Structure 1
Amino acid sequence: VSVKPYISPSEVVKTIKSITARYIFKKFPKLKQRKFWGSGFWSKGYYVGTTGAVSSETIKRYIENQKHV
């Protein structure tokens, strides 16, 4: 993802999580009836790194090591 330097990483993550959650709830409406609706579909945390400082392997390991609920 590439954004203007004045846009904070937290705003980017917030937007991505919001858009993807709406898409998933639209595609799978039964999820709204479960605990996901209203309690936050995504976890509160996130990871941000630049391509100059973080390898794709580091990102891949981070994603693979996330706890699954």
Structure 2
Amino acid sequence: MELRSFSHGYGQITYHIVLVPKYRYKIFYDKRVKKDCELVLSKICMEQGYKIHAMEIVDDHVHLFLEFRLSYSLSRVVQFLKGGISYRMFKLHPELKKRYWGGSLWSSGKFFRSVGNVTADTIQHYIKESQGKPKAESKVCRSRESGQRRLDDF
């Protein structure tokens, strides 16, 4: 994966998202329901401008490795996914309405984790060592290079 340029930034926004049907029913055991969910998910992501890096639908939950624009919040993305999938799946499979009579296909929670090409340890090391010198040393060098003396010098 590569970094992308945004209007006022440069970076990467990718998440591992897990969506679970309400009551953790194994609705994707049915091959037709599973296939339709894949197609619906792909279409929603295409319409909204989300990029799917990986998708896996197992019997009782959906895994997505998703990238989206900086202007979208994670909550908004999950809301579009859950709402869009529910609406379209109920239209394609009216029998799901009998099981989910309240009108909600998904559980209220979500699992998410931001994903990148580096580990937390790598980032901590980069921040600590980014200047190549300890902070105190670099302040002294800068003040002497500018010709200005510090109070400590007296």
Match of residue 51 from structure 1: 115
| Identity value in percent | 31
Gaps of 5+ in 1: 54-69
AA in 2 matched with 1:24: M
Match of residue 61 from structure 1: none
Match of residue 102 from structure 2: 38
Gaps of 5+ in 2: 1-65, 118-154
Report SS of the residue matched to 1:11: helix
Question: Is it true that 1:24 corresponds to 2:89 in the alignment?
Answer: yes
Q: Give the 4+ runs in structure 1 shifted more than 4 A.
A: none
Report SS of the residue matched to 1:49: strand
Report SS of the residue matched to 2:114: coil
* Equivalent residues, number: 52
By percentage of residues, which structure has more strand? 2
AA in 2 matched with 1:6: S
TM-score, with length taken from structure 1: 0.60
Structure with bigger gyration radius: 2
Match of residue 6 from structure 1: 71
CA distance in 2: counterparts of 1:7 and 1:50, whole angstroms: 14
What CA RMSD, in Å, does the superposition of the two structures yield over aligned residues?
1.9
